[in-house]
Amino acid sequence: MATLLPGEPEDIRLLAEWLHADGVVAVPTETVYGLAGNARSSDACRKIFRVKGRPYWDPLIVHVGSQQMAEEIVEWNEEAQRLAQAFWPGPLTLILQGRGLVAQEVTAGHTTVAVRMPDHPLFLALLEKSGLPLAAPSANPFGYLSPTCAEDVQRTLGDRLEYILDGGPCRVGVESTIVDLSRADPVILRPGALGAEALSKVLSRPVLNGWNEAVVERSQAPGLAAWHYSPVKPLRLWDSTREPIPPCQEGERVLLTATPMGGEGKGTSLFTGLQSDIQQVARNLYHALLEADCDPDCKSIVVELPVGNGALQDALIQRLKKAAARY
């Protein structure tokens, strides 16, 4: 099992040294927990891929503690400046042309690099103390659910890690919005808490939703695999705006995101949030899925699709569809 560190100054010192020695460590962010290592070190980055079981063709996001560090790694421009000023630190990843200063494992052969400044005091303290750019994918085995608290990292990767920096539950609960600024027009490659509307406003021009419009070639979209974010147990999606709640089987767990408590049938209903509070749904969803997946009494899972329009709804629906694509 990994040691959980609460983030005291001596913990941050120890982990900064650990990172300088090419160690990897699970860290809290406002979105999901990440698995961090020195982005300039091939050894550290290979460890990240090994621990996750991630294929080498899937590039990593580089986390920075300051805009200056981002400017060293990528070719900064006016639009990056505007977005960073509006949303960093925060759940927004920018893709820009790289400057050849990170390990080649980070970019998986792309000329671009993804950069983001996370909004979590402990991760920011570690970035500052180490002075390193830190490559960090979500801290889950490849293809599995992302962890949103230290205990969930421990459950799925604890036996492959020495340390987990425990920063409590994640405030957002779904991975960052990824916007590609390396093209003629800005394109969102992965939806997150910040949507096209918010980004367009800051850039004063349209931002395309690349994950659901055919503007992005498959080879350039994140989460390339046909399924992703998936529990091991069978997962069904339920669209409550179109059909009544499906009859539940014995051992089936129903996660409600819009309909108030009280699903029918033999399955157990679990509440992940209210339609009126999509932030709450986002904060709880991955954890509720993981709980159901780890519960020996649960045989299969049904999730009600979030209802309503908004960036977070889009992000959660995209994740759930990818998760269910396995079945």
Binding-site size for Mg ion (CB under 5 A) equals 1
Residue 138 as a binder of Mg ion (CB under 5 A): the answer is yes
What's the sign of the alpha-carbon dihedral 173, 23, 93, 139?
A: negative
Q: Which DSSP helix (H) or strand (E) runs through 48?
A: helix 42-52
Which partner from the list ligand TXA, Mg ion, none does 29 bind, CB cut-off 5 to 8 Å by kind?
ligand TXA
Residues 27-66 that bind Mg ion (CB under 5 A): none
Shortest approach of ligand TXA to residue 99 CB, angstroms?
Answer: 13
Cβ closest to Mg ion, residue 146 vs residue 269: 146
What's the number of CA atoms in the CB half-sphere (13 Å) around residue 267? 24
Comparing CA positions, the residue from 123, 147, 125 lying closest to residue 28 is: 123
Cβ closest to ligand TXA, residue 111 vs residue 241: 111
3-state SS, residue 85: helix
Q: Which of the ranges 109-117, 135-143, 268-276, 278-286 carries the binding residues for Mg ion, by CB under 5 A?
A: 135-143
Which partner from the list ligand TXA, Mg ion, none does 93 bind, CB cut-off 5 to 8 Å by kind?
ligand TXA
Cβ closest to ligand TXA, residue 89 vs residue 267: 89
Cα distance between residue 138 and residue 243, in whole Å: 34
Shortest approach of ligand TXA to residue 153 CB, angstroms?
Answer: 11
Which partner from the list Mg ion, ligand TXA, none does 32 bind, CB cut-off 5 to 8 Å by kind?
ligand TXA
Which partner from the list Mg ion, ligand TXA, none does 110 bind, CB cut-off 5 to 8 Å by kind?
ligand TXA
Which partner from the list ligand TXA, Mg ion, none does 284 bind, CB cut-off 5 to 8 Å by kind?
none
Shortest approach of ligand TXA to residue 296 CB, angstroms?
Answer: 28
Length of the chain: 327
Which partner from the list ligand TXA, Mg ion, none does 114 bind, CB cut-off 5 to 8 Å by kind?
ligand TXA
Shortest approach of ligand TXA to residue 95 CB, angstroms?
Answer: 5
Site residues (CB under 6 A) for ligand TXA? 29, 31-32, 34, 58-61, 93, 95, 107, 110, 112-114, 116, 118, 136-138, 175-176, 178, 189, 220, 222-223
Cβ closest to ligand TXA, residue 215 vs residue 274: 215
**C-alpha triplet 31, 55, 294: angle, nearest 5°:** 55
Cα distance between residue 34 and residue 24, in whole Å: 10
Shortest approach of ligand TXA to residue 277 CB, angstroms?
Answer: 21
C-alpha 271 chain-centroid distance? 22
The DSSP string of 267-325 is: SEEEE---TT-HHHHHHHHHHHHHHHHH-TT--EEEEEPP-S-SHHHHHHHHHHHHHHT
Cα distance between residue 133 and residue 265, in whole Å: 51
Cβ closest to Mg ion, residue 130 vs residue 138: 138
Which partner from the list ligand TXA, Mg ion, none does 58 bind, CB cut-off 5 to 8 Å by kind?
ligand TXA
Cβ closest to ligand TXA, residue 69 vs residue 248: 69
* Relative orientation angle of helices 311-324 and 196-203, to the nearest 10 degrees: 130
Cβ closest to Mg ion, residue 138 vs residue 177: 138
Cβ closest to Mg ion, residue 21 vs residue 225: 225
Phi-psi region of 235 (alpha: psi -120 to 50; beta: other; left: phi over 0): beta
Shortest approach of Mg ion to residue 33 CB, angstroms?
Answer: 10
**Sheet (strand 3-5) strand order:** 3-5, 163-165, 25-27, 34-38, 134-135, 61-63, 112-116, 92-97, 177-180, 187-190, 208-209
Q: Which DSSP helix (H) or strand (E) runs through 121?
A: helix 121-130
Cα distance between residue 126 and residue 11, in whole Å: 9
Binding site for Mg ion (CB under 5 A): 138
